[in-house]
């Protein structure tokens, strides 16, 4: 049984094209990862990703999404979220369930607070860890245990629901 595979990656003027058996490709990839060209390509891809995210945020603001700050502030007030950990939980809920954003690095969450005219939490890792300890947040499997992919657990959703009835 002859299995062959092909990998092609282009980042600017750096291009890799590998074909052969999966074992051959894995060996070639191992050698490429040790080469400076691989690091350059990965760096360029990271820069391109950041540029795309920034462009998306700018486009959203230009298209009228600055109202997101008012919407988030309304959520904070409706749920009576006075403590910063609860506000961070509310922000994650807002980003996931209202805006359908699945990847929210700290700058996205802090920007949401700024858009709402609410003091941003600053060190989000501290709040994420507290909320995870209370089992209000979970990190989906396959997300490399990154806080930026956190979602509300059923307990976290219940906590917000209880806040809105107070």
- Class of domain 66-164 (CATH, top level): mainly alpha
For the stretch 100-144, pLDDT in tens is: 888 889 999 999 999 899 999 988 999 999 999 999 999 888 877
Asked whether the beta carbons of 89 and 158 are under 8 A apart, the reply is no
- pLDDT category, 84, cuts 50, 70, 90? very high
* Higher-scoring residue by pLDDT: 82, 38: 82
Six-digit token string for 161: 């629901």
Helix pair angle (84-93, 124-133), 10° resolution: 90
pTM: 0.60
- Domain edges within the chain: 5-61, 66-164
Cα separation, 128 vs 87, in Å, equals 11
* Confidence at residue 151, expressed as pLDDT on a 0 to 100 scale: 93
Per-residue model confidence (pLDDT) at position 135: 95
3-state class (DSSP) for residue 162: helix
Determine the pLDDT at residue 164: 67
Q: How much is the pLDDT for 25?
A: 85
């Amino acid at each position: 049984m002859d299995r062959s595979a092909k990998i092609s990656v282009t980042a600017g003027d750096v291009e890799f094209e590998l074909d052969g058996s999966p074992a051959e490709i894995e060996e070639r990839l191992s050698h490429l990862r040790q080469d400076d060209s691989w690091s350059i390509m990965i760096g360029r891809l990271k820069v391109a990703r950041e540029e795309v995210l920034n462009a998306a945020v700018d486009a959203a603001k230009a298209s009228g999404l600055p109202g997101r700050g008012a919407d988030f502030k309304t959520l904070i007030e409706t749920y009576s979220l006075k403590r910063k950990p609860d506000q961070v939980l509310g922000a994650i809920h807002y980003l996931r369930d209202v805006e359908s954003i699945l990847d929210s690095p700290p700058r996205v969450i802090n920007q949401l607070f700024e858009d709402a005219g609410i003091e941003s939490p600053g060190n989000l890792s501290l709040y994420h860890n507290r909320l995870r300890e209370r089992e209000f947040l979970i990190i989906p499997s396959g997300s490399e245990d990154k806080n930026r992919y956190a979602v509300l657990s059923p307990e976290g959703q219940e906590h917000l629901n209880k806040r809105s009835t107070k």
